[in-house]
């Protein structure tokens, strides 16, 4: 069942499925609201419900205390609508910057290259679509056989007409679920699923202050 969620103070209305978190609905409709952990523990997405009812989901008791729930606060990353809603969120609208809506993608791995110690370059060709993003944003890669995903920064340059291929640089983390999948299972030709773009750590062309960029590249290829 779909519900309407109006986000104040901007007055934008988005549609949210009863099985979808309010945060997900906002991001997929191009409305950026603050968030970080996306699983109910950091409280970055805490917002107030002005009208309507929600299922609080798996919000931790530390991030959202009982008295806050009674006062109408929710964590947007875990809360799902049970009625149409009006919420008050800390929405930031930045002049001159267009944030692209989050979408789901499927793609094929066309290249895997060990490009530095314990670091793998993965080239993904998107099927029947293009992704639009801003430099600095990231995707959430779904880990097959689990209900989990992991954030990976998009290492390729965003193109004006959208990118049909993206590159990720993934470091091995001992015992890691996501990097374990990338290093132990993923092969060229495999299909992958991901969602994006996410993140506000982007290059702002209108920013007047000096910006220091730095990077490091280990050119010793283990192959």
Residue ranges in contact with ligand FAD by CB under 6 A: 138, 150-153, 169-171, 173, 175-180, 199
Distance between CA atoms of 52 and 82, rounded to whole angstroms? 8
Q: Out of 14, 16, 22, 75, which residue is the one contacting ligand FES (CB under 6 A)?
A: 75
**For residue 133, what are its two tokens?**
């993003």
User: Which residue, 73 or 194, is less far from ligand FES as judged by CB?
Assistant: 73
Distance between CA atoms of 46 and 23, rounded to whole angstroms? 10
Contacts of 146 (CB under 8 A, 6+ apart): 177
Q: What x-and-dash track marks residues 8-47 binding ligand FES by CB under 6 A?
A: ---------------------------xxxx-xxxxxx--
How far, in Å, are 66, 104, 108, 109, 124 from residue 187 at the CA level? 47, 21, 10, 7, 11
Computed from CA positions of residues 14, 20, 21, 24, in that sequence, does the dihedral angle turn out positive or negative? negative
User: Which residue, 57 or 180, is less far from ligand FAD as judged by CB?
Assistant: 180
User: Which residue, 10 or 177, is less far from ligand FAD as judged by CB?
Assistant: 177
The residue number with the shortest CB distance to ligand FAD is 176
* Residues forming the site for ligand FES (CB under 6 A): 35-38, 40-45, 63, 75, 77
């Amino acid at each position: 069942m779909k519900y309407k969620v109006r986000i104040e103070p901007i007055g934008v209305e988005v549609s949210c499925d009863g099985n979808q978190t309010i945060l997900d609905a906002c991001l997929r409709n191009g409305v950026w609201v603050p968030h970080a952990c996306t699983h109910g523990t950091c409280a970055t997405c805490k917002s107030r419900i002005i009208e309507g009812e929600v299922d609080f989901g798996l919000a931790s008791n530390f991030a959202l205390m009982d008295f806050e729930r009674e006062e109408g606060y929710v964590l947007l990353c875990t809360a799902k609508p049970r009625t149409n809603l009006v919420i008050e969120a800390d929405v930031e609208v930045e002049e001159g910057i267009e944030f692209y809506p989050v979408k789901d993608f499927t793609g094929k791995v066309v290249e895997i290259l060990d490009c530095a110690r314990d670091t793998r370059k993965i080239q993904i060709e998107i099927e029947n679509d293009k992704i639009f993003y801003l430099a600095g944003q990231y995707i959430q890669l779904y880990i097959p056989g689990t209900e989990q995903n992991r954030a990976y920064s998009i290492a390729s340059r965003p193109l004006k007409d959208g990118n049909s291929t993206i590159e990720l640089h993934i470091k091995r983390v001992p015992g890691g679920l996501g990097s374990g999948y990338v290093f132990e299972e993923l092969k060229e030709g495999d299909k992958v699923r991901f969602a994006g773009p996410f993140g506000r750590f982007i290059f702002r062309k209108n920013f007047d202050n000096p910006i220091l960029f730095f990077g490091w590249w280990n050119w010793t290829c283990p192959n």
